[in-house]
A and B are shown apart, each in its own frame.
Chain A
Amino acid sequence: MIERRPFLNVVRHAALVVAVALILFPVYVAFVASTLSFDEVLHVPMQLWPGGHLLENYADVMAHGSAKGSSAPVGRMMINSLIMALVIAIGKIAISIISAFAIVYFRFPFRQTVFWMIFITLMLPVEVRILPTYQVAADLGLIDTYAGLTMPLIASATATFLFRQFFLTIPDEYAEAARIDGAGPLRFFKDVVLPLSRTNIAALFVIMFIYGWNQYLWPLLVTTQESMYTTVIGIKRMIPGGDAAAEWHLVMATAILAMLPPAVVVLLMQKWFVKGLVDTEK
């Protein structure tokens, strides 16, 4: 073991512990704030140990939202976020995997064009096409609908690329054996390709779920009614201009709620998540 100086090891551990503490500090503060009453949370400096209003605050904010700023109940917002995240994650995976399958396993005219078209979407995040995309959504009557929240975000080049790369590593022998066995392409897809892609799908699910849940700009544009707000934009809406006026204990409770599902997904599926992140960028 090279350089087994125990002192160095202690230093490393200390630095890591400090880093973890710094990373977790804002979340801890938010958690504590979410357990305080309105007066306690406004007290300067705010206390660093949890207060006694945890259940009360969360129940309050889930049912009634905040009295200042937007008053949409957070419970409703969580459901919107959940629907958005799930539809985007599942939708992206579904349409990407069949596109990748088509591109890899078929030869057809315009295949290259299709490939390049998908590639361009990589270079067009929503931020560079804000107004026209909004216009299209409005024209199609998608404002304030779940479809409007999800459909424009559902085409994903990264997922398609990942699947394509993966499919290219599947030995040709599988496809040949399938053809000899008389299986058509769809059968082959369902019985061979799909099961083989399980880990990739799991990995992508985590990333896409988080992506969908954490969307900000697009839901901001496409929702006008409070009943369609997602949690992430809902928090911002709870802070009317001038920060002292917000009900911070409720805002922080909402923030914790907003962080919870993605964090849970990451922690439960950490293995796939790490693999997925590293693979999508290769």
Chain B
Amino acid sequence: MGAISLRGIEKTYGRAPRANKVIHGVSAEIADGEFVVIVGPSGCGKSTLLRMVAGLEEISGGEIEIGGRVVNDLEPAERDIAMVFQNYALYPHMSVFDNMAYGLRIRRIPSEEIRARVDKAAAILELAPFLKRKPRELSGGQRQRVAMGRAIVREPQVFLFDEPLSNLDAKLRAQTRLEIQKLHGELRTTSLFVTHDQVEAMTLAERMIVMNAGRMEQMGTPDEVYHRPATTFVAGFIGSPPMNLLRGRAEGLGFTAGGQLLPLPAVAPREGDLVMGIRPEHVEIGNDLSAAAWPLRVQALEMLGAERLVYGVLGDTLFIARLDATMPYPKAGDIVSIHAAPAHLHWFDAATTARVGA
């Protein structure tokens, strides 16, 4: 039905010798009815990827299938998709009703049916009192809902969202996020959602695609991406505050990073140049000053009410630990020992940035 298949997608701008390749071979299978979030920093190519699925950008290489049909050569109108834009893209000279009815009128849907669909969408999105208004008379949140309404009434196979929440203020963003989740629960249409905000990604995604510099770094559920990041980029991008990453050399039961020898509780998956990762919430702080300890020179503390963040230096790297507010905490200038359970240590190859071990 509405399954999406991305096979070896590439995008190049310009022509040789000044060609600029922005997307390098992205492949993914998205099941019918799945809500997939494409997340990554600015310029990673996520919007370009989405626009290729929509048909607004040409596909330089690879194939895209929607609902079993290869759509590379199909116009956007022929792909049975609907898109919600970052700046809503509502037709300013038409009423809310006409905005939502536009696509349906073009498809020659009878007006009673149009009326029915628009009313239904307006009910779901609480837009019924605004149907006769023009977009400029609405607030940002209302306009966003009209944009979604326009997509819903089309009853397409796929919804495409291009950073729709970026223009809303924080509170509205959280609210709209919940509405989108609720909507997906009801409609269960396959959805591709692009955002640069990893919190949005974590909360909305059934699975997510983490992108960086035109490459797909990892695709998985929020849990998988959070607990088993596939590369150092994913490890550092997902999670706030970010995972601590230490470059060094593993030999036997020791890991030397930044001039500091850190005894390991268990052997690293491999010897050699590795990057070790520990999430701030998995760090335990103690006062063990023996040789087996990892010494952290505390520099600052952030009191956040329910928790505390300890900023320090381990070896030569900035290191963050997260403590529950009930735990005792050090103060700036102290030297404390930190350690983490072997299961909470992530290992990555220093050269390829890929995960090694379990």
Is A11 positioned at the interface, with any CB of B under 8 Å from its CB? no
Q: Verify B56–A1 contact, CB threshold 8 A.
A: yes
Contacts of A2 in B (CB 8 A): 55-56, 75-76
Contacts of B57 in A (CB 8 A): 1
Q: Verify B75–A1 contact, CB threshold 8 A.
A: no
Chain A 1-16, CB-CB to B under 8 Å as 1, else 0, gives 1111000000000000
Contacts of A1 in B (CB 8 A): 56-58
Where chain B touches its partner, the secondary structure class is loop
Bound CA span A220–B75, Å:
60
Please give me the residue from chain A that is nearest to B58 by CB atom.
Answer: A1
Contacts of B75 in A (CB 8 A): 2-3
Contacts of B58 in A (CB 8 A): 1, 4
Bound CA span A3–B55, Å:
10
Task: Give me 7 other A-B pairs in contact (C-beta within 8 A), A1-B58, A2-B56 excluded.
Answer: A1-B56, A1-B57, A2-B55, A2-B75, A2-B76, A3-B75, A4-B58
Bound CA span A3–B76, Å:
9
Bound CA span A4–B58, Å:
9
Bound CA span A4–B56, Å:
10
Please give me the residue from chain B that is nearest to A1 by CB atom.
Answer: B58
> What are 9 A-B residue pairs whose CB atoms fall within 8 Å in the complex?
A1-B56, A1-B57, A1-B58, A2-B55, A2-B56, A2-B75, A2-B76, A3-B75, A4-B58
Bound CA span A3–B75, Å:
7
Contacts of A3 in B (CB 8 A): 75
Bound CA span A233–B58, Å:
56
Bound CA span A93–B135, Å:
40
Bound CA span A2–B58, Å:
9
Interface size grouping (class) on chain A: under 10
Where chain A touches its partner, the secondary structure class is loop
B side interface size, CB within 8 A: 6
Please give me the residue from chain A that is nearest to B76 by CB atom.
Answer: A2
Q: How far is the CB of A40 from chain B (nearest CB, A)?
A: 48
Please give me the residue from chain A that is nearest to B77 by CB atom.
Answer: A2
Q: How far is the CB of B23 from chain A (nearest CB, A)?
A: 15
Please give me the residue from chain B that is nearest to A3 by CB atom.
Answer: B75
Chain A 199-229, CB-CB to B under 8 Å as 1, else 0, gives 0000000000000000000000000000000
Please give me the residue from chain A that is nearest to B51 by CB atom.
Answer: A1
Bound CA span A3–B56, Å:
9
The 8 A-B pairs at the shortest CB distance, nearest first, are namely A1-B58, A1-B57, A2-B76, A4-B58, A2-B56, A2-B75, A3-B75, A1-B56
Bound CA span A1–B72, Å:
12
Bound CA span A4–B76, Å:
12
Contacts of A4 in B (CB 8 A): 58
Chain B 63-85, CB-CB to A under 8 Å as 1, else 0, gives 00000000000011000000000
Please give me the residue from chain A that is nearest to B56 by CB atom.
Answer: A2
Please give me the residue from chain B that is nearest to A5 by CB atom.
Answer: B75
Q: In B16-69, which residues have CB < 8 Å from any A CB?
A: 55-58
Bound CA span A191–B14, Å:
45
Q: How far is the CB of B61 from chain A (nearest CB, A)?
A: 16
Q: How far is the CB of B106 from chain A (nearest CB, A)?
A: 15
Chain A 152-177, CB-CB to B under 8 Å as 1, else 0, gives 00000000000000000000000000
Q: How far is the CB of A4 from chain B (nearest CB, A)?
A: 7
Bound CA span A76–B55, Å:
62
Q: How far is the CB of B71 from chain A (nearest CB, A)?
A: 14
Bound CA span A260–B55, Å:
47
Q: How far is the CB of B47 from chain A (nearest CB, A)?
A: 15
Q: How far is the CB of A17 from chain B (nearest CB, A)?
A: 23
Bound CA span A3–B58, Å:
10
Q: How far is the CB of B330 from chain A (nearest CB, A)?
A: 45
Q: How far is the CB of A253 from chain B (nearest CB, A)?
A: 45
| Residue of A2, A3, A4 most packed against chain B (CB within 10 A) | A2
Q: In A1-50, which residues have CB < 8 Å from any B CB?
A: 1-4
Contacts of B76 in A (CB 8 A): 2
Bound CA span A2–B57, Å:
8
Q: How far is the CB of A128 from chain B (nearest CB, A)?
A: 37
| Residue of A1, A3, A4 most packed against chain B (CB within 10 A) | A1
Contacts of B56 in A (CB 8 A): 1-2
Bound CA span A113–B80, Å:
62
Q: How far is the CB of B72 from chain A (nearest CB, A)?
A: 12
Q: How far is the CB of A3 from chain B (nearest CB, A)?
A: 7
Q: How far is the CB of A1 from chain B (nearest CB, A)?
A: 5
Q: How far is the CB of B17 from chain A (nearest CB, A)?
A: 22
Bound CA span A104–B75, Å:
53
Q: How far is the CB of A5 from chain B (nearest CB, A)?
A: 10
Bound CA span A3–B77, Å:
11
Bound CA span A4–B55, Å:
11
Bound CA span A121–B58, Å:
54
Please give me the residue from chain B that is nearest to A4 by CB atom.
Answer: B58
Q: How far is the CB of B162 from chain A (nearest CB, A)?
A: 16
Bound CA span A245–B126, Å:
80
Bound CA span A1–B76, Å:
9
Q: How far is the CB of A2 from chain B (nearest CB, A)?
A: 7
Bound CA span A63–B75, Å:
65
